[in-house]
Amino acid sequence: MQYGPGPNAIYPNEAIKSICYIKNVVTRPNISVGEFTYYDDIDGAEKFEEHVTHHYEFIGDKLIIGKFCAIAKGIEFVMNGANHRMNSVTTYPFNIMGNGWEKSTPTLADLPLKGDTVIGNDVWIGQNVTVMPGVHIGDGAIIAANSVVAKDIPPYHIAGGNPCKIIKKRFDDELIDYLLAIKWWDWPVRKIFDNLESLCSGDLTKIREIH
């Protein structure tokens, strides 16, 4: 018996080519994506990597995305390669223009590097969201459409706007702590299949009945 789509499929539902499992289409070693996380884009969901910009291996930063995330069309992950030197008179990147200007090439220590960008598990990111370098978005968070995320978002919070700000918690602290403890996204696929009704129920008490 099958307990859901295969995690190694590019298109989990062959009838819906606008949705693809990102893990199975990325080629860059500095991008890591968990199983069942998808990108939805009618103009080419399999082209997800085109939405991860200024991402250069020599800088060393990674984009890390957890399992079961839903990422809508128009996402852009801006990585650390977009940063300019800020501790000098000008921020202009003379070095990339060449023709002798490369003598002003900055060292990595001169750049305001923010580290890895990390998206947790079960995160929903709406359409046309921009995530800036080094941001951490916690498990179960929701990011509203057209947001620019420049600061960390805690687990199970709803956030939106430009700049993105926390709107509210999804649940009370006790339930948030419980969900972070059980980590349902790490369950075997059979257990997830058997408990879909509880995971998708508006009755939040049902999740505590799972053993």
The type of residue at 175 is: L
Whether 211 is catalytic: no
- Both tokens of residue 41? 């884009």
> Contact at 8 Å (CB) between 111 and 87?
no
Coil, strand or helix: which one is 97? helix
Nearest C-alpha neighbor of 47 from the set 4, 70, 69, 76: 76
Distance CA 192, CA 128 (A): 30
- CA-based angle 79:85:88, to the nearest 5? 165
Output b/e per residue, 147-184; b: 16+ Cβ within 10 A: bbbbeebbbbbbbbeeebeeeeebeeeebbeebeeeeb
175: left (phi over 0), alpha (psi -120 to 50) or beta: alpha
- Per-residue CA distances from 117 to 6, 66, 95, 138 (Å): 27, 11, 26, 11
> Catalytic one among 51, 84, 136, 157?
84
Q: Give catalytic residues, as residue numbers.
A: 84
